[in-house]
Structure 1
Amino acid sequence: MHDIRALRADPAAFDADLARRGLEPVAQRLLAWDEERRQAQTALQDRQARRKALAREIGMLKREGGDTSALEVEGVSLRAQMEALEEQARAVERESTALLANLPNRLDPAVPDGPDESANEIRHVWGTRREFTFTPKQHFELGEALGQMDFATAGKLSGARFVVLRAGLARLARALGQFMLDLHVGEHDFVEMQVPVLVTDDAMYGTDKLPKFADQSFRTEDGRWLIPTAEVPLTASVAGDILDGASLPLRMTALTQCFRSEAGSAGRDVRGMLRQHQFEKVEMVCVTTPEQSEAEHERMTRCAETVLERLGIPYRRMLLCAGDTGFGAAKTFDLEAWLPGQDAWREISSCSNTRDFQARRMNARFRPQAGAAPAFVHTLNGSGLAVGRTLIAVMENYQNEDGSITVPDALLPYMGGLARIG
């Protein structure tokens, strides 16, 4: 959600940020609504004051035995006017809130201009791409040949965009999740959490998933939502709170199932595990002060990069352009892993600073020091990493000519002595 005071202060800058995302200007419409709402509230306060004064006058006249009928008629009229003004203010508030709820976050000045991913900037590249003496296969070719990645059975159970993993690949996926959690908790100072995967409208709205992404999420018949990412319950855990500034930053991580309907992705990544309705992800969330948030964004991105470095997966860091930056983000770094089977870089992590955008929606604040006025926190989120996509990266980078998969050294302690999947 946006700060209306910032919009009043510089409406042109507000519209300029929207223009960078390819959106039409709205500042003047919002300011007109804001002025109408404030005028209605001022008029309401005037009538409330007059009504109080009227009550005193009626009381005095009654004690003196005077005629109060004219004043009582005025009181009835004032009550009707107040009800009309209250409804006017509520109607304007509903309109402005509905518009604001669908407006994306303002962009950091460092975000480059551009309409889509073609304008994203490469910040750095890590690792050396392996030279193969054979033509590398894609993950689904490897997995199906091993008999350990089964899309047909998953389709029989659940339809398209699901998978059944077996034996060594199932063990490898479990090892990846455990390895990531251990790294973030043991070395990166995150607190491990177990959180619900069913959440309320408020939790989804507060983390900017509603109303914008309702069609990309699954909803149960009792009105709860299956989480698209653990960002939702982790971030919403501080909704409505006033935190002690000395306790910040809060760093939380969780390994959960995630669910996305993938609306609008028909025909994209149909084969394999890249785009699934159900997948596992290790999520990182940070709740911090405005002064710390930029440093926490860099730190969180480095935590995700460390996972790839320990696994020996080549990657590159991308600064997303205006047209590719997500709805709630002010600034986003994507990490793209090299997939030799696809001969392409593919996103494996996205780390975003949402600043106070989510905090305003869910009223999450902190008190800088005792006696100080509360201020909105900044929230950040990042994949650390998506387990399925990391499995794909390991399979394709560590494949052998005979179709087997060598287990990366970092995962050997989690594999029960299995060093090669074949």
Structure 2
Amino acid sequence: MTSVRAAVMKGPGRVEVEEFPRPEVERGAVLMQVLFSGICGTDKHTFRGETIQYAGTPHERRLEYPLICGHENVGVVADTGGDVLATDGRPLRPGDRIVPGANVACGECWFCREGFPYYACERLEDYGNSLNAARPPHLFGGWAELMYLLPGTPLFRVPDELPSEVAVLTEVMAVTHGLDNAAQLPLPHAFRPGSSVAVIGVGPLGLCHLIKARFLRCGELIAVDLLPSRLRVAERFGATLTIEASAVPREGRIELVRQQTGGRGADVAIDCSGVAETFPEALALVRWGGTVIEAGAFVDLGPVPVNPNRDICTRNICVLGVGGEAATSYVPAMKAMAAHLDELPLRDVVTHRLPLERAGEAIELSQSDAAMKVVIVPNG
């Protein structure tokens, strides 16, 4: 292969297939043949022209087109620039199956040196986002036959027993570390086995949080969404109550959650809707002393009204903001998915697989009632 095909987002609503030269691999880098690349909520925002990321941080930015999107990836090592180690300390060889980290932190700023999550890094680079297709060697996203992984990228070896169509969910599952953090909180905020969980927005990110709650042995599991098809999927994964937000007004939704939780409200509410308006509702869904995990507001879509006294302080609410996945969560996520393959229908989370030529259609499909997780299959 001397040239590489990729689906390039040229601007809002515009995706075209282009060819790029196959790159030489610098020392420490890896060239990966992409098996599956998931469409993330971030990609949908970018497709709509909503491109302000990491607002309020030192690396706040507006994405620049053209972009080869795709940061939820699983693939096979095609070439390496010398000996490159996976996170397990073993050298990678052509043919090894890997999930690459979605980001490259600088490792040198104060936040990196102090062990903060990668998304605190002051010079962060993100595959399919800040790393755009104008920068050689161009192939910085998974919507391409080959993806170029820079030196310093965390590279996670996929367990043999984990199918690739499940392994492609690893990055999304790694974003669910907010539940792990909630389990470390003191009372009355702590998530514990048997705790009730409400998830607002059960698209792929919300569904993965619902799955993670099952992994952690939650009690009542409540799913709220506008789309009936997604609620039906949530039921297959163990939701004990589903609420169709388009049919039940806000106060009715709050009352249904309280009825399901002994009149108190959920122990934990997780907001994965991707719109800012649901954050106040998440605050209202939890009991006194409950915890709200905000995991869906990755792109700045503006403010919402919150009364810090009535909504948070007098009710002793704990709010955990999640700015991205944790690198330390990739391997545990893969192990947990592999361990639950027979218990949960994890193979069914990916509902549609489309080639590069249909990437634009794939994005539209991923926003519809017809799909759960949509992936691009560049070499299919």
Output the TM-score relative to the length of structure 1: 0.24
Question: Which structure has more strand as a fraction of its residues?
Answer: 2
Question: Which structure has more helix as a fraction of its residues?
Answer: 1
Please tell me whether Structure 1 or Structure 2 has the larger radius of gyration of its CA atoms: 1
